[in-house]
Amino acid sequence: MITGADGVIRVSGTRVTLDSILFAFNDGATPEEIAEQYPCVPLADIYYLIGYALRHSAEMEIYLRKRLGEWQEVRRQNEARWNPGGVRERLMARRPNLA
């Protein structure tokens, strides 16, 4: 694991964040399913990360709560900039008529 200057923990040698792995696990994904979703992360590393998180649950809970708050703020900012309402309709209007 490597902590970047932004405070985000990533799996060494990848751009995959620790929170991506742990949120998937907490949502019920098995380590094997997570490995399929993130093929650049070896299965053994996924087991290690989950074990680490379980052994350091208080610390990880604080980290995950912080990351979730950051994600929600970015989403709020993006939705304020680009209204998500009617996206499907706008995309369908751009599609050439295939009739």
What is the per-residue pLDDT across 71-85, written as a single tens digit (0 to 9) for each? 899 989 988 888 778
- % of the chain beyond a pLDDT of 90: 64
Q: Quickly list H helices, the chain.
A: 18-26, 31-37, 43-55, 57-81, 87-94
pTM value is: 0.72
Token pair for 19: 């929170």
Q: What's at 41, amino acid-wise? A: V
- Using N-to-C axis directions, what is the helix angle for 18-26 and 57-81, rounded to 10°? 100
